Amino acid sequence: MAQRQLAAQRHADAGKNLQAIFDFYGILHGEYRIPPLPAISAAFDRLRARRAFVQAADQADEEQALPFLETAISIIGEKTGTALDPKIIARLELFEWSLARDRSKERQLAAAIAEKLALLYGGAANDYQAIAASFATARRLAANQNWSDAEQSEATAWKKLAERITKPTPGPARE
């Protein structure tokens, strides 16, 4: 998943639209098990969102990515049966992208990622701080075109997240 996520971002940012579509589709259909047609639609929306963000001259222009992100997130939520608020998740994701551009906002980036993870997987944002820090490092490395280290950091973050969300919650004590 880490390599696909970063490859999609790298290809979208470089204007390699067809390759980015394949990358996003691979994530949506292969990882999230979204049926082919909705996965293609969401992949196009993810690409349009990322391209709108990359080409934005300022924060107001960056917000042109929101409708595309919201649509893609709506499709993901609907097809995976997950209750997502597309407007909130899209705004947090756009905020992440914006913070990743600014090297001076490392802590805010990790906090935004932790908030999004808490919304997606349940729990409190504090529960995701260490995982979010790994994702933030990956985003920062990717923003600096350091793709190899970004992939390693992203893979570590996904592994930690998988462990966190599959860890059984303790039940009541038995006597």
Q: What is the pLDDT of residue 112?
A: 92
Q: What is the pLDDT of residue 1?
A: 67
- Residue pair 91/111 in contact (Cβ under 8 Å)? The answer is no
Q: What is the pLDDT of residue 122?
A: 87
Quick check: is 170 in a domain? no
Q: CA 41, CA 59: separation in Å to the nearest integer?
A: 26
Q: What is the pLDDT of residue 2?
A: 66
Q: What is the pLDDT of residue 102?
A: 80
Domain count, the chain: 1
**pLDDT averages per 10-residue partition of the chain, 175 residues:** 83 94 93 93 97 91 95 94 90 90 84 91 92 92 88 91 76 49
Tokens of 135: 């994702």
Quick check: is 65 in a domain? yes
Q: By residue range, what is the domain housing residue 48?
A: 2-165
Instruction: Count CB neighbours of 53 within 10 A.
Output: 23
Q: What are phi and psi of 125, to 5 degrees?
A: -60, -35
- Residue pair 51/17 in contact (Cβ under 8 Å)? The answer is yes
